[in-house]
A and B are shown apart, each in its own frame.
Chain A
Amino acid sequence: MDRIPILKLGGVLIVTIQVDMHDRLAMALEEDLTAKIAATGARGVLIEISALEIVDSFIGRMLDNIAAISRVLDAETVVVGMRPAVAITLVELGLELTGIKTALNVERGMAMIRDRLAEDDDLGSARARYED
């Protein structure tokens, strides 16, 4: 079975979803990403969905899960490239995906992850200084 490829760029994992996913593929992605975050210690996950014409509650749930799992593993997830028609439909469906960070495109998404991680690091080092 084909699996969706996961790329690694520095400390960020990048996934581009380009196919009309069936359920098994979506579950496989969730598993693969979880394993890879743990294995690489990645601090960021970028999911690019500009090719997705449909996001239904199943895919929405998958995205929510991935965001929650990565948070537990200390990584920040950003979903980028949602199509306008998809956003409108999701909102109408009642799925606002409030647990997920979103950005317009890959560039913005990466900037967001970098900023967030820099903040965390600053906070971390500030605390370290305080505790010294």
Chain B
Amino acid sequence: MAVDGTAVLTQTVAAEEANILAAWFSLLKAGGALHTGRIREAELDTQARTVLEQLRVSLAAAGTEVRADAYAPLRDTLAEVSRSRAIQGFTPTDTANFVFSLKEPIFAALNRAGGKDPAAVAKGTWAASHLLDALGLHTMEVFLASREEVIGRQGQEIAELSTPVVRLWDGILALPLIGTLDSARTGVVMENLLQAIVDEEAEIAIIDITGVPTVDTLVAQHLLKAIAAARLMGADCIVSGIRPQIAQTMVHLGVELNVVSKATLADAFALALKRTGRTVVRKQPSISSTAS
């Protein structure tokens, strides 16, 4: 009956807080937390003290329900410990061990308190183990979440850096794509392209794929999406920079880009000029006044 175990645990932690804290702190020090010099004793002391106090309060309020609101302050504190440890260069295991090492002192306290009631000691131990496992895992999750955030942000920055939109002439844009086109990148490409179409009032967008290593069915699908989106905004697209090998691969794969494509950006630009009603005229060489 978990209720008994939790009650035993709650009482023990409340009654023996000072002892548990002292034992835990010596364990942490012995475990080498301070040896590397990455964290000061005072800081470690404060962290341990705060965590244990919040644990006692949360236990009294919500038992071992780690997800309950009453545990929010403790979860936040542990999240903060996890983050600061990560910055200080500790591994996520170190931080999890910060929590797990609390087991020994608590088990010892339960033993002392439970003495003549082995059943109560067993249940209290189970409740404590269950609770500290959950809290230790929480610190791991926080660590992982912040890592993912960094990676996501970096991915976004890379995607934006590698999709510039260039204004070649009035109403003519060029989009030189470098690197592979996956679905996340296509999203960024479309946003940049469409915004540029609006800003420049472009009629034609030249998508140059010289820098795209391979064009398989998936990449072609993404390209077609970008082209369809541009068309909905009233801009026609021309694809340029299709290398001979890519042309071959595309035909063999049965990939069809139902849009005008030119081998070079220059050819595409010439076509775009023509389509928008412009011609390029070579200036007549001026007759020198000294010629005779």
Contacts and interface: CB of A to CB of B under 8 A. Distances in A.
Interface of A: 80, 82, 84, 86-88, 90-92, 96-97, 102-105, 108-109
B232 A102 contact: yes
B184 to A, nearest CB: 13
Contact of B233 (A82, A92, A96, A109): A82
Given A84-B198, A104-B235, A96 B191 contact: no
Contact of B197 (A86, A92, A97, A104): A104
B201 A91 contact: no
Nearest to B202: A104
Given A104-B197, A104-B198, A87 B233 contact: yes
Contacts of A87: 190, 194, 229-230, 232-233
B228 A84 contact: no
A91 B191 contact: no
Contact of B232 (A82, A108, A109): A82
Given A84-B191, A84-B194, A90 B201 contact: no
A74 B12 CA distance: 87
Q: How large is the interface on B (under 10, 10 to 19, 20 to 34, 35 or more residues)?
A: 10 to 19
A108 to B, nearest CB: 6
- Output the residue of B191, B201, B228, B232 with the most chain A CB within 10 A: B232
B225 interface: yes
A27 to B, nearest CB: 23
A16 B155 CA distance: 40
B194 to A, nearest CB: 4
B232 A96 contact: yes
B234 interface: yes
B222 to A, nearest CB: 10
Contacts of A91: 190, 225, 228-229, 232
